[in-house]
Amino acid sequence: MAVTLAFDVYGTLIDTQGLVAMLRAIVGDRAPDFSRAWRERQLEYTFRRALMQNYVPFAVCTAQALDHTCDRFKAPLTAEQRAAVLEAYRTLPAFDDAADGLARLRAAGFRLYAFSNGTAEAVRTLLDAAGIAELFLGIVSTDDLRSYKPNPAVYSHFLRAAGAAGAETWLVSSNPFDIIGALSSGWRAAWVRRSPDAPFDPWGIQPTVTVPGLRDLAAAIAG
């Protein structure tokens, strides 16, 4: 069986910091810090909701995290600004290496799937806007289980949906929590360390391979 690669979307293929320029017009020089805080709160909300079994779609977590970040930064948005920011989040830009890296992997014979906390519709919108949707065999969303990564059930759900075996499946993610979740479920995992300063969680569980970007992935997995 060909090796299956399950690609995290937000932060791995798609740049969650891609709205900094838009946010700068609203919150000024605090835009990079605002954007990072928004992303951190978004993920925290998914963790909390998964643990509480109190599910709402990822877009709701994103919107509520934006509201919290505005309160934290004392930066209220008008209704029009809020709507515009959330609409722009639906078409965040892809990283520069996404299209080329994915095309190389597809040509090398890997089975490529998008595997995301986002709903299938939201992920399809992102991938279409980035021009990379056709490189994937399909999209698997944690929304199907009304839960979020790193719940072990969502990794099992992916294997069923993709017709894959854990021993022949790799998660590809820039998010350490996701890497650890997949490894704990019996997968292999490639950590895309997009910043040389990015730390990995000190849990005694290490990625199978670490790469700086998607263009390096095929050689790392083969090696």
CA neighbours closer than 13 Å in the CB half-sphere of residue 53:
1
Query: Going by DSSP bridges, is the β-strand pair 138-141/111-116 parallel, antiparallel, or unpaired?
Result: parallel
Query: How many angstroms separate the CA atoms of 104 and 118, rounded?
Result: 25
Contact 4, 110 (CB under 8 A): yes
Using alpha carbons only, how large is the chain's radius of gyration in Å?
A: 17
Residue 166, amino acid? G
Whether 29 is catalytic is: no
Catalytic residue among 8, 97, 143, 178: 8
| Closest residue by Cα to residue 145 from 159, 129, 130, 125 | 159
Catalytic machinery residues: 8
